[in-house]
Amino acid sequence: MKKISIVLALALVLAMAVPAMAVDIAGEVEFERAYVDEDDSYTVNSIDIDLDFTANPAANVETFVGVELEDIVDGNIDSNNVEVDEAWINVDLLELPGASLKAGRFGVATPQDLLYDLNLDGAELSYAVDNIAVSFASDLDNDDSIKFIEASMSDLVFGEVTSVATLNIADYGIDDEDTAFSIALDNSHEMADFYVVFADDQESAFQLGAETDVLAPGLTVGFDYGQMDEDYLGEADFFDDFTDFADEIGYIYDDIQTIVFGAEYDVNDVLSTSFEYAMHEDDADAELDVLTLGAEYDLAENTVLEFEFENYDAGDEDVDVITTTLTTNF
């Protein structure tokens, strides 16, 4: 913890305490009210404030500090939290063009967040040349440090398809069996964008999807499919609705399959609507269908009002969630 504190303190000092250095400040303020309609209905109100501080003390040096302030009122329970999400220094190595060194607290993630998506307290060395990029990140624990490796190659052309291939490896520093990896291919075509990701962490997970906006002006439609083996240890955000809901109502889930259909339509310059239908099922015949309807309206420049209706249907369990969110950026 002492080493982490030193790194974070250094980033904070460089970003905010050097009088001669200009600091750019950006942020977001979000007010959210969620009404959950089930056997014991309740309302959750929250205020979320994100502040980002960026500075460049030298031409090849960038510092960043991201702070989140959150206050949640759930029934009679009021909880608040202040957290430094990110605080890092990034230095472009002039002696090695294309290389950079980052230290502090920063995020590391894999395509579709299928294997991992987390904040790391440590350092990252990155190198990019032409269409190839490689990075190596590690935390500050000398004994059982966590290590992440990412290698990607962009601008791969296969006929009319342009692709980016990415390999991620995570070593959690415990034993040989605790090494995980993912392989992803993101593709772009004039008709649609589509992807495929495979990950292995003790067990495996697989995800693919496509999105297109050529069917009608203002309309974007998408399709996603995923499957996750029981005891898979990766992040697997795609399956969160089902796994979280399953824990809540007592399901014991096995291998999971998920299919999602979605669409977004821009009604005009200030109003857009969205539709999503997700079907989750496991090998023990537990099922969950989630319908999501949304609308987003630009009240003013940098200020958006959002409305979302969600229905979680698990047979005997049926839950509605109505969420209203007001967000402003500066």
Domain co-membership, 181 together with 147: yes
Instruction: Among 164, 182, 201, give the residue marking a domain's end.
Output: 201
Domain co-membership, 7 together with 106: no
Give the range of the structural domain holding residue 142, as residue numbers without chain letter. 93-201
- Percent of the chain past pLDDT 70, that is, above it, reads 89
Is residue 159 assigned to a domain?
A: yes
Instruction: Among 156, 176, 201, give the residue marking a domain's end.
Output: 201
Domain co-membership, 177 together with 100: yes
Domain co-membership, 130 together with 158: yes
Domain co-membership, 104 together with 190: yes
Is residue 107 assigned to a domain?
A: yes
Q: Is 1 a residue whose pLDDT tops 70?
A: no
Domain co-membership, 184 together with 97: yes
Tens digits of residue pLDDT in 147-157: 999 999 999 99
Of the listed ranges 13-27, 35-49, 262-276, the one predicted with least confidence: 13-27
Is residue 270 assigned to a domain?
A: no
Is residue 16 assigned to a domain?
A: yes
Is residue 146 assigned to a domain?
A: yes
Tens digits of residue pLDDT in 224-262: 999 999 989 999 899 988 888 877 767 667 899 999 999
Domain co-membership, 97 together with 193: yes
CA-to-CA dists, residue 100 to 169, 194, 217, angstroms: 20, 31, 42
Burial class (CB in 10 A: 0-12, 13-18, 19+), 51: middle
**Comparing C-alpha atoms, which of 226, 276, 278, 235 is closest to residue 256?**
226
Give me the chain's average pLDDT, please.
89
Tens digits of residue pLDDT in 157-206: 999 999 999 999 999 876 656 789 999 999 999 999 999 999 999 899 99
Is residue 211 assigned to a domain?
A: no
Is residue 50 assigned to a domain?
A: yes
CA dihedral of 90, 94, 95, 99, whole degrees rounded to 10: 50
Number of domains in the chain: 2
Is residue 26 assigned to a domain?
A: yes
